[in-house]
Structure 1
Amino acid sequence: MNITPFQKTNEEFKSYFNFIQPTLERTKVPSLLIDTNSLGITYTPYQNKLDDDIFKQLNFPHMKKSLYSPSSDSSSTSCSPTTLKPAATEELVNVDSIIPKKTIAVSPAASFLANFMSPPDNSFVLSNNTSPQINQHMMIDGYLLGESVGFGGFSIVRKAHHQTTGTLVAVKIINQHLMTATDKMRLERELTIWKSLHHPRITQLYKIIKTDQTCFILCDYCSEGNLLSFLNTVKKLEEEQAKKIFKEICQGVYYLHVDVKVCHKDLKLENILLSDQGHVKICDFGLAIYQNHHRYADEWVGGSLAYASPEQIKQPNPLTCPKTDIWSLGVILYALVVGALPFTDTYDLRLQQKILDAQYDVPMHLSSHLQQLIRSCLAHDTDKRCTIDQVLNSKWLKE
């Protein structure tokens, strides 16, 4: 009578296994591989060992590489190049495209998942098939391109210096051939809004140069990196130090909300840059929209879930109310003084529910006025949530 392998001796079992192993290898079901490159949402796990555990969670927007190189903090007015005029200009350069043409269709659902619910792109790996053929010694409008200092969904950012004056700028190089029609529409809106902004707490756009498939944006270069990089180094700030930084952020947001009637829609640690003298500059207006306009009903919401307000999470389309930015400010303030995000979870749907339920703890060692401001920014009811004017006039910032 034949016996099964499990009834054999050890030696017999080894012999039997060696006999059937080639057959097992031939018939083994392959692992399921999903190629997300066509959706533009390639993802690589975050590897920075300096980060706190909260910055390693897979659903956090902090995994996205900073727009500028990380560094430490210091403290004045502006890092704006003195040889450039603040008013942005736009040029259409009639040169051959430097990017191979390739069309990628992205469904609204995939776009929604990539931009809001899923982990954001951390790598933007520049493959031979999709990367712009730009070398480090390329000249753009008198500026010599240098090292790469950051990445975006469709872009790479390089440091550049002027050959004559030595002025430093950041050059954002956008690969438009990877973009959908909606992406291109958002880019045009971003550039329109960004060109209109002139404030010490906003990164200044100086010039736009376009080719057939590429857009070069010359703007402020902030050598001290962003707040995420800074917090990864110092872990958390004392209230007085946090107060200085947060007040400058609020000054920039006040300009956006009150003076130009714009909602940023993507306020987060990565989008708050520090100048060479330690002053704040808000960047990245890719999701910015005008207040109280109703023309965004056919767009999918974008942004970072950990910073998203509960009312925005309930809606698939961008809300034009500035109170959504105030919620994001509350998340930033909490992170500055606590060294952690108020809403954390490794599972997106659970994190979403925590935000909807406003589940967070305010440490009791913080001053009473600071606790009050955090709760006012993170008020679930928008009618009870403070405005940017009320934030700037809060007792904590006035102390």
Structure 2
Amino acid sequence: MADIFDFDEEELSSKLAKGLTIVTNEKDDIINGYMPIVNEDQEQDDLDNRLGTSYEVNFDEIYEANESRQNSSVNVKSLSTNTPKKLTIQDFEPIKVLGKGSYGKVILVKDKENGKLFAQKQLKKASMIVNTANYERTLTERTILERVRHPNIVKLYYALQDFDKVYLMLEYLEGGELFHHLSQERILSEKVACFYIAEMILALRHLHMNAGVIYRDLKPENCMLNRRGHLVLTDFGLSKVSNESNSLFGTAQYIAPEVIKGETYDSQCDWWSLGTVLYDLLTGSPPFTGNNNKKIMDKVLTQKVKFPFYLSQDARDLLSKLLNKNPAKRLNCDTNFDDKVKTHRFFRYINWDLLIHQNDELQPPPLRPIITNPELAENFDEEFTSMKITPPSSPLDYSLFDRFEESRSDSTSSYITIKKPKPNAESGFDESVYFNNFSYTHEETFLR
């Protein structure tokens, strides 16, 4: 299949150096969005440190998996021919914080009109202008998810912005992180682990073979469970829309040796990461650990993988094939799926056809999340769900959006500079930007 993505690795930075300014003297035209509640700082010794840069990507057409999206708690129904209302952040009620990272927060929100629940990922525009990598990663994630459809990949519904922030309205995965369940169970049995590793393989193969995407950040924290217990891959900010790359990306414990070396690598790096995640699920920790990134990556390059005595021969064999430091000799789950993956004895507990079609009646997921009320976010860490949320104020006004649309038609910049009068009759203006081609509404409406 021909490549479906075109991109220019240097184009975005040059675009951000230019801007078009829109100023309004009417205070009602631009009103504040959320109060600043996101901490953009990241500790230097954080083992989840993300390195490198992502780039702007362009898509020619939508590719969708043949499998029906049975893993979602929402069903698909086509829109009528009427033009849908332009939603703003004011149309959603914040409920609980689901997570927090260097990017900002993920908040559970509810559509005020129909009660549908979404996971709202938000990022402050100020941080995106100061650090263009934040914008690049957000745009990469937004563009990939706009075009990719697969039962084991999170779905994007809306991309919105107000004066202060941008927002990705994502599928709410009520089962929480696989990491959350792993921390409770300590380790998973091979029978349970093989089910979720198999679903990771299906998601990664779709990204590689149908979309030309290298995922680059596979780890338990990025694997979520929906309410039925199926695995869904999330967080595409570090993904690369290309057949190969040589930039350093990922999380130290799960990163492939060729990536650390700075060599040109391809999607084989994701199969190394799959091996590290499998090792983590079966033993309770990744194969290489340490108290800082350098020590971890040194071990990845120089040490052999040690297998605990209790792992079966089947698990050891699969891990050895995935954790081969030579990418040319590493098991390729894309090209060897039928002859070496599906037939591997580690997967003897599952029926691949039932898994692909998510036939829960004949092959239910091994972990069924307990959900008494979706709004309680019971499967998310209380460290986050107990955080206070500052209610949003009004977004950009519809009339101002229309002016943006008119102005950006003549602009080649990635953004338009915008201003609003300072509050409380102060003199002067607060400044922000309006990102061109960021806002998005899916062509279908999703009804529970």
Pairing partner for 1:364 from 309, 312, 323 = 309
Select between 273-282 and 222-231 the one with higher mean Cα deviation.
Answer: 222-231
Pairing partner for 1:79 from 56, 61, 72? 72
**Residues 1:310 and 2:257 are matched in the alignment:** yes
Please tell me whether the aligned partners of residues 84 and 206 of structure 1 are also in contact (alpha carbons under 8 angstroms).
no
Q: Where is the helix percentage greater, Structure 1 or Structure 2?
A: 1
Partner of 1:170: 119
Quickly say closer, same or farther: Cα 1:82–1:143, change in 2 above 3 A: farther
Q: Does 1:61 align with 2:48?
A: yes
Are the structure 2 counterparts of residues 394 and 141 from structure 1 closer, same or farther at C-alpha, using a change threshold of 3 Å? farther
SS in 1 for 2:176: coil
Q: Take 1:358 and 1:326, find their aligned partners in 2: how far apart are those partners? A: 18
Partner-residue secondary structure (3-state), 2:269? helix
Residue type of the partner of 1:352? M
- Identity level (%): 25
Greater relative contact order (Cα < 8 A, sep 6+):
2
Give the TM-score normalised by structure 2.
Answer: 0.58
2:320 matches 1:375: yes
Question: Equivalents in 1 of 2:208, 2:133: separation in Å?
Answer: 25
Q: Indicate if the aligned counterparts of 2:155 and 2:171 stay in contact, CA closer than 8 A.
A: yes
Q: How does 1:245-324 map to 2 (within 5 A)?
A: 245-292=196-243, 301-315=248-262, 321-324=266-269
Once the two structures are superposed, what CA deviation does each residue of 1:15-51 show, in whole Å capped at 9, x if it has no partner? Answer: xxxxxxxxxxxxxxxxxxxxxxxx954439xxxxxxx
* TM-score, L = length of structure 1: 0.64
Q: Cα gap change, 1:80/1:141 in structure 2, threshold over 3 Å: closer, same or farther?
A: farther
Q: Is the 8 A contact 1:59 1:346 kept in 2?
A: no
Higher strand fraction (1 or 2): 2
Post-superposition Cα deviations, 1:211-268, rounded to whole Å, max 9, x if no partner, equal 3441111111111211211111000011111111111111111111111111111111
Check conservation: 2:207, 2:213, Cα contact below 8 A: yes
Would you say the 8 A contact 1:59–1:345 is kept in 2?
no
Q: 1:308 and 1:358 mapped to 2: Cα distance?
A: 14
Distance 1:207 1:366, change over 3 A: same
Q: What number of residue pairs does the alignment pair up? A: 281
SS of residue matched to 2:118: strand
User: Following TM superposition, by how much is the alpha carbon of 1:81 offset from its aligned partner in structure 2, in angstroms?
Assistant: 2.6
**In 1, are the aligned partners of 2:244 and 2:266 still within 8 Å (CA)?**
no
CA contact (8 A) 2:72 2:151 kept: no
Task: Give the Å deviation of 1:369.
Answer: 1.9
1:346 Cα shift?
Answer: 1.7
Unaligned runs of 5+ in 2: 1-38, 50-68, 349-448
Shift in Å at residue 193 of structure 1? 1.4
C-alpha distance after superposition, 1:309-357 (max 9, x if no partner): 1111111x8x550011111100000011111210011243322221002
The residue number in structure 1 matching 2:102 is 153
Q: How does 1:202-217 map to 2 (within 5 A)?
A: 202-217=153-168
Per-residue CA shift, 1:253-310, capped at 9, x if unaligned? 111111111111111110000111111000000011123256xx6xx53321111111
After TM superposition, the structure 1 = structure 2 runs for residues 33-182 of structure 1, keeping only pairs within 5 Å, are 40-43=40-43, 60-61=47-48, 77-82=70-75, 140=89, 142-179=91-128, 180-182=131-133
Q: Secondary structure at the match of 2:97?
A: strand
Classify 1:84/1:172 alpha carbon distance in 2 versus 1 (closer, same or farther; 3 Å). Answer: farther
SS in 2 for 1:169: strand
* Cα distance, 1:394–1:378 mapped onto 2, change above 3 Å: farther
Q: Is the 8 A contact 1:291 1:322 kept in 2?
A: no
**2: CA distance, partners of 1:398 / 1:149:** 32
CA distance in 2, matches of 1:174, 1:320: 30
1:386 aligns with one of 317, 324, 331: 331
Mapped pair 1:235 → 2:189: no
